[in-house]
């Protein structure tokens, strides 16, 4: 069974109505999680800590969706690079 990794991250946005970070060097990487449930718990905790700041948002990225294991690997991946 393939892992279903999820990344939780967030930070201050330019505007509450746009998903554009004010400063990408200050993105808060909460962590990588092995399943959606644990990622959701981490996302919720981070979001609740910043609930009073309308410019701060946290997201869950479905890292497992970036890879399609059925597709052949790239040449560099095959080399372990």
How does residue 81 score in pLDDT terms, banded at 50, 70 and 90?
Answer: very low
Q: Is there a domain that residue 60 lies in?
A: yes
Identify the domain containing residue 61 by its residue range. Answer: 6-78
Q: Is there a domain that residue 27 lies in?
A: yes
9, 2 contact by CB (below 8 A): no
Euclidean distance between CA atoms 81 and 14, whole angstroms: 36
Quote the radius of gyration of the chain (alpha carbons, Å): 16
Q: Is there a domain that residue 55 lies in?
A: yes
Q: What is the CATH number of the domain that holds 60?
A: 3.30.70.2400
- Number of domains within the chain: 1
* Res 29: pLDDT: 97
Tens digits of per-residue pLDDT, 35-80? 999 999 999 999 999 999 999 999 999 987 776 666 666 555 554 5
Q: Is there a domain that residue 1 lies in?
A: no
Q: Is there a domain that residue 56 lies in?
A: yes
Euclidean distance between CA atoms 42 and 29, whole angstroms: 11
| Whole-prediction pTM | 0.77
């Amino acid at each position: 069974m393939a892992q279903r990794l999820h990344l939780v991250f967030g930070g201050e946005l330019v505007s509450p109505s746009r998903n554009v970070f004010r400063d990408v060097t200050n993105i808060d990487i909460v962590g990588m999680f092995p399943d959606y449930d644990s990622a959701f718990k981490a996302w919720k905790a981070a979001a609740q800590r910043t609930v009073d700041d309308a410019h701060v948002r946290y997201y869950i990225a479905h890292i497992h969706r970036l890879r399609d294991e059925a597709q052949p690997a790239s040449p560099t991946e095959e080399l372990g690079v």
